Amino acid sequence: MSKRIVVKIGSSSLTSSQGGLNREAVAYFAGELASLYKLGYQPLLVTSGAVAAGFRAIGYSERPKKLYEKQASAAVGQALLMQAYQEALADYGHVAAQILLTRTDFHSRQRIGNAVMTVEELLARGILPIFNENDTVSVDELKFGDNDTLSALVANLVKAERLIILTDMDGLYSADPRNDPNAFKYETIDEISDEIYRMAGGSGSSVGTGGMRSKLDAARIATRGGVPVFIGRASEAGDLTAAASGGGRGTLFTTRVASMPVKKQWLGYLSRPLGALIVDAGAKRALAEEGRSLLPVGITAVEGQFHEGDVVEVRGPEGDIVGRGVVNYDMEDLQRVCGIPGPRVLEVLKDLHRLEAIHRDEWISLG
């Protein structure tokens, strides 16, 4: 199997500061992606830029702020963006395929499973999948972390060798190097701690929506799924291949875990919890540290509206997120037996299929 590399390119790298596509930038990235093919890599692209590419063409003088204006700009800009990629890649003999996704697509295991099968077929035929959020129908104010989160989800789903998130900074610094001459760059980060998060600032560009913090969120998702992440800059020939092979101008986020099964990825990062279970300290320890199932006796409170087979979030006694799991009870039944030992649960619910509120095989820790 070819080495899969997911590359994410943000709006600021593809458009001018005033908006509109920068054709020279698109041509540069097409050349870099073609170089990855020559070295035996199997690239996948996650691109932003539809709104930024379209708002000038539609007649707006500046990037729009209202949702319907953004969606109209995206409708025009997405076509311009894909046309630019197709023309630039054709110079190297490559063909691109467009895959538009929304958050709700990731809530369904069947829909995301179908998307994965489509991607596998495209890759088998040597086609470059290009992912973007379907901004024209998004109802979440188009804030998918400037596609940073999307790139991490894609990288985990295809079991990529590396995720490369390109930005206008050459990595993560201890402070903003544009303002602090004493700021130093991190070459490698093994754990994304609270201290690392404190160093992340806001959005660095007037045409993009994502800042370094959203990139750290993406890096955390990808590395927990077993995919190392490079965050940095690519502006000269060979920068992208260097980032793919362990070099490059940026920061590498390492991972110690193996690739996460698709079911666990969906459960932890793609599903939509329909309720929450509050557990005591013993149940939290059993789930997070001992790899055990959650029993009703360890549950202190039940929130939300859910049915057997739905995904719920589990929180500790202090309100901290412990993880997610597929619940084996309807909400009303679980409310009747939470805090009750096993034998009494069977007395209260005589037609119970299984005692565990969440089985360990249907659980993922997120704390």
3-state secondary structure of 365: strand
Residue pointed to by tokens 């009870």: 329
Sign of the alpha-carbon torsion through 171, 177, 183, 184: positive
Tell me whether residue 8 is annotated as binding. Answer: yes
- Written as six digits, the tokens of 314 are 């589990």
Tell me whether residue 211 is annotated as binding. Answer: yes
Pick the closest to residue 235 from 171, 167, 148 (CA basis). 167
b/e sequence 178-206, b meaning 16+ C-beta within 10 Å: eeeeeeeebeebeebeeebeebbeebbbe
Amino acid sitting at position 273? P
Query: How does DSSP classify residue 185?
Result: B
Pick the closest to residue 154 from 99, 108, 200, 216 (CA basis). 99
Question: Which stretch of DSSP H or E encloses residue 215?
Answer: helix 212-224
Pick the closest to residue 210 from 48, 99, 80, 55 (CA basis). 48
Tell me whether residue 48 is annotated as binding. Answer: yes
Rounded distance between C-alpha atoms, residue 35 and residue 41, angstroms: 9
Tell me whether residue 325 is annotated as binding. Answer: no
Tell me whether residue 293 is annotated as binding. Answer: no
- Positions at the binding site for substrate: 48, 135, 147
Binding region for ATP: 8, 167-168, 209-215
- Annotation: binding site: 8, 48, 135, 147, 167-168, 209-215
